[in-house]
């Protein structure tokens, strides 16, 4: 098989792995235009300094001895298979790097022969890159569940970030749809990697030249919408993973209907659910929320019409309004419309003098949301009263498009789209363009 064919097959197969930062944009290439946002093969990540870096995202092979029902590469799926040799993949990465197409590699793989054998192939690829080519770029490697910890130790010294996919939000779902995997085969490597990262950080404090083990930390991916697991279960699991294994990120990937198992849904879940989970995840990581504050057994799913922070604030109006000039930083963070950066700016600015609403705007506060929850110098914004219903209505109307069913929601135009979609008759879109005689009379 030609190298290009392998790249096509294995780049496509890797696109189902969402454990990296990708935009979610779905814009196909068109004749006469440059580039597209659909082709698989390149994904993005962010360096420690905030720089966005492009990664070649590819599988070493899509042969797999496992039969995970939600995966396009499962052994029972009739799909074209291919495999790179470590040398081929290392050469390809360097060739792309030299052409300035990519700055790093995101390497995952199906399980060929055994987890240990697959892990050894990945190690060999990275040894060629790091050793022979002296490649210093970013590498994200997927650890293979069930691989020996001695192999994970070698892999972790060659890559920047490691990830082990948790796959399903509950043990029952994992047992049902990925019978070859077990909780232990996933959490075991995750715990080992977490321990080695901590050891490595401690070593680096003592010895500057100590080898770094996965210096960019570890992450994981969870498929959502394939099983009836609730958002509460998902967020509780994520919270436990962050706390116990010190993960950098949990990625939520909306299920793509590639399975034939009759227990799997035939349609993908709404992407809005994935979006809400990311918002709630952000609250756990940066805003000091706990999963149990956002959801509980009586309200197990996030409100699709309201972002989780607004939803929490509206349900806890007894804690508001808070006084901007005296509230502690942690309470400022809980106000919808105040982010981490604007909360820090408020704390810094109020040392110089008391703040009014115009100052909040300058600090980057989104006042149209925050106004219901704040006082400045003891007063709310002129003419505002905070009552459950009115606040909820106002916040919902801000996002009214989200409440429409998908087919009725207005089309999102790209920056360079014509103002009138091609599919629409301009006279229908703008009735005043119609000839005078066809206008309704009497006006």
Q: What is the dihedral of CA 68, 69, 73, 76, to 10 degrees?
A: 100
- Judged by CB under 6 A, does residue 189 bind ligand SF4? no
* Residue 144 beta carbon to ligand SF4: minimum distance, rounded to whole angstroms: 8
- What is the rounded distance in angstroms from the CA atom of residue 306 to the CA atom of residue 272? 11
Mark the segment that binds ligand SF4 (CB under 6 A) among 22-30, 70-78, 190-198, 420-428: 70-78
* Residue 268 beta carbon to ligand SF4: minimum distance, rounded to whole angstroms: 17
Q: Pairing between strand 52-59 and 104-108?
A: parallel
- Judged by CB under 6 A, does residue 12 bind ligand SF4? no
Mark the segment that binds ligand SF4 (CB under 6 A) among 69-77, 193-201, 213-221, 315-323: 69-77
Give the one residue of 74, 249, 334, 345 binding ligand SF4; rule: CB under 6 A: 74
| For ligand SF4, the closer CB: 66 or 213 | 66
**Full 3-state SS string of the chain:** CCHHHHHHHHHHHHCCCCCCECCCCCCCCCCCCCCCCCCCCEEEEECCCCCEEEEEEEECECCCCCCCCCCCCCCCCCCCCCECCHHHHHHHHHHHHHCCCCCEEEEECCCCCCHHHHHHHHHHHHHHHHHHCCCCCEEEEECCCCCCHHHHHHHHHHCCEEECCCECCCHHHHHHHCCCCCHHHHHHHHHHHHHHHHHHHHHHHHCCCCCCCCCCCEEEEEEECCCCCCHHHHHHHHHHHHHHHCCCEEEEEECCCCCCCCCCCCCCCCHHHHHHHHHHHHHHHHCCCCHHHHCCCCCCCCCCCCCHHHHHHHHCHHHCCEECCCCCHHHHCCCCCCCHHHHHHHHHHCCCCCCCHHHHHHCCCCHHHHHHHEEECCECCCCCCCCHHHHHHHHHHHCHHHHCCCCCCCCCCCCCCCCCCCCCCHHHHCHHHCCHHHCCCCC
- Judged by CB under 6 A, does residue 66 bind ligand SF4? yes
* Residue 341 beta carbon to ligand SF4: minimum distance, rounded to whole angstroms: 38
| For ligand SF4, the closer CB: 111 or 155 | 111
- Judged by CB under 6 A, does residue 365 bind ligand SF4? no
- Judged by CB under 6 A, does residue 64 bind ligand SF4? yes
- Judged by CB under 6 A, does residue 295 bind ligand SF4? no
* Residue 234 beta carbon to ligand SF4: minimum distance, rounded to whole angstroms: 18
Mark the segment that binds ligand SF4 (CB under 6 A) among 71-79, 210-218, 243-251, 293-301: 71-79
| For ligand SF4, the closer CB: 74 or 196 | 74
| For ligand SF4, the closer CB: 60 or 193 | 60
- Judged by CB under 6 A, does residue 68 bind ligand SF4? yes
| For ligand SF4, the closer CB: 77 or 233 | 77
* Residue 359 beta carbon to ligand SF4: minimum distance, rounded to whole angstroms: 52
| For ligand SF4, the closer CB: 61 or 371 | 61
Give the binding-site size for ligand SF4 (rule: CB under 6 A): 8
Residue 328's CB: how many other CB atoms inside 10 A?
10
Give the one residue of 73, 194, 218, 227 binding ligand SF4; rule: CB under 6 A: 73
Mark the segment that binds ligand SF4 (CB under 6 A) among 49-57, 60-68, 205-213, 399-407: 60-68
| For ligand SF4, the closer CB: 72 or 272 | 72
- Judged by CB under 6 A, does residue 142 bind ligand SF4? no
| For ligand SF4, the closer CB: 64 or 306 | 64
Mark the segment that binds ligand SF4 (CB under 6 A) among 23-31, 66-74, 82-90, 230-238: 66-74
| For ligand SF4, the closer CB: 77 or 236 | 77
Evaluate whether 149 touches 193 at the Cβ level (below 8 Å): no
Mark the segment that binds ligand SF4 (CB under 6 A) among 63-71, 277-285, 324-332, 433-441: 63-71
- Judged by CB under 6 A, does residue 111 bind ligand SF4? yes
- What is the rounded distance in angstroms from the CA atom of residue 381 to the CA atom of residue 246? 41
Give the one residue of 10, 56, 71, 392 binding ligand SF4; rule: CB under 6 A: 71
Which residues would be at the binding site for ligand SF4 (CB under 6 A)?
64, 66, 68, 71, 73-74, 110-111
């Amino acid at each position: 098989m030609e190298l290009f064919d392998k790249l096509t097959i294995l780049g496509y197969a890797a696109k189902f792995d969402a454990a990296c930062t990708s935009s979610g944009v779905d814009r196909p290439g068109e004749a006469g235009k440059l580039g597209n946002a659909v082709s698989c093969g390149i994904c993005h990540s962010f360096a420690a300094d905030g720089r966005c870096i492009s990664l070649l995202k590819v599988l070493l092979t899509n042969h797999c001895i496992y039969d995970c029902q939600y995966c396009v590469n499962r052994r029972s799926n009739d799909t074209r298979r291919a495999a790179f040799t470590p040398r081929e993949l290392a050469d390809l990465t360097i060739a792309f790097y030299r052409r300035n197409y990519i700055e790093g590699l995101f390497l995952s793989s199906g399980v060929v022969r055994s987890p240990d054998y697959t892990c050894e192939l990945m190690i060999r690829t990275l040894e060629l890159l790091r050793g022979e080519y002296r490649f210093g770029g970013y590498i994200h490697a997927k650890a293979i569940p069930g691989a020996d910890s001695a192999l994970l130790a070698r892999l972790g010294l060659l890559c920047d970030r490691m990830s082990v996919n948790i796959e399903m939000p509950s043990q029952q779902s994992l047992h049902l749809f990925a019978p070859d995997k077990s909780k232990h085969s996933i959490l075991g490597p995750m715990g080992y990697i977490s321990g080695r990262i901590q050891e490595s950080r401690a070593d680096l404090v003592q010895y500057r030249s100590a080898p770094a083990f996965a210096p960019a930390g570890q992450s994981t991916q969870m498929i959502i919408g394939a099983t009836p697991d609730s958002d509460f279960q998902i967020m509780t699991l994520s919270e436990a993973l962050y706390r116990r294994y010190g993960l950098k990120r949990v990625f939520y990937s909306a299920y793509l209907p590639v399975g034939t198992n009759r227990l799997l849904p035939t349609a993908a879940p709404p992407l809005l659910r994935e979006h809400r989970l990311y918002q709630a995840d952000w609250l756990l990581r940066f805003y000091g929320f706990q999963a149990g504050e956002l959801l509980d057994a009586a309200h197990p799913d996030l409100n699709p019409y309201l972002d989780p922070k607004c939803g929490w604030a509206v349900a806890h109006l007894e804690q508001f309004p808070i006084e901007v000039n005296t509230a502690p930083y942690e309470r400022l963070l809980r106000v919808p419309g105040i982010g981490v950066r604007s909360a820090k700016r408020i704390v810094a600015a109020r040392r110089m003098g008391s703040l009014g609403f115009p100052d909040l705007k300058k600090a980057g506060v989104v006042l149209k949301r925050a106004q219901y929850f704040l006082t400045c110098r003891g007063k709310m914004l002129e003419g505002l009263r905070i009552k459950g219903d009115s606040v909820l209505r106002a916040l919902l109307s801000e996002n009214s498009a989200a409440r429409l069913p998908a087919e009725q929601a207005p089309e999102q135009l790209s920056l360079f789209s014509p103002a009138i979609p091609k599919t629409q008759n301009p006279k229908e879109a703008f009735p005043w363009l119609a000839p005078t005689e066809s206008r309704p009379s009497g006006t």
